[in-house]
Amino acid sequence: MQPPDFTSDASLSNNNPADYKLRVSVLGFILHANHVLLIDQTSPPEPGLWDLPGGGLEPWESLMEGLAREVREETGLVEFQVEGLLTIAETFFAKAPGKTSHLINVIYHCSVSDRTALLSSDEAEVGERGIQWLDIRKLTAETCTTRTWKALVAANLVS
């Protein structure tokens, strides 16, 4: 089963630019030995699913600065290597009646030398299940956010 396709939602067909918010997010697809680092997402558009660490880019930040800040804030991880751009995934979702958010998710393939770093976060968007290294073979489209699943597909780790 494929994840929800927010681009086909009829409620998002309004063409008034004032009703849209565009946001660029940077995310880390952090791998080590067939495990990916994911957070229990509590914020929209897909709360309750496993998501990549990352978030909105601040206007003054470069992509790499934003990635480092977001990964540190959401996981406590400061030592990781950016291997390159993995994919760009768009997400559309209704933020309020008649208001739509359009997220451009820039997802980088990252790695760590080991998984022994202490993981922690005070961020509200990290839920009760916290931050975990999850076995890729146990992930499904139903348990991951759309952008996480798109990253797994782009990395040729799922089909």
CA distance 49 to 4: 12
What is the pLDDT at residue 155? 97
What is the pLDDT at residue 4? 41
- Interacting residues of 139 by C-beta distance below 8 A, sequence separation 6+: 36, 50, 148, 152, 158
pLDDT tens, residue by residue, 44-100: 889 999 999 999 999 999 999 999 999 999 999 999 999 999 999 998 888 778 888
CA 42 to chain centre: 12
CA 56 to chain centre: 10
Q: Which pTM does this prediction carry?
A: 0.87
Only one residue has tokens 């961020």, namely 123
- Report the CATH superfamily, name and number, of domain 6-12+21-154: Nucleoside Triphosphate Pyrophosphohydrolase (3.90.79.10)
Domain residue spans in the chain?
Answer: 6-12+21-154
According to DSSP, the residues that pair with 31 across neighbouring strands are 36, 111
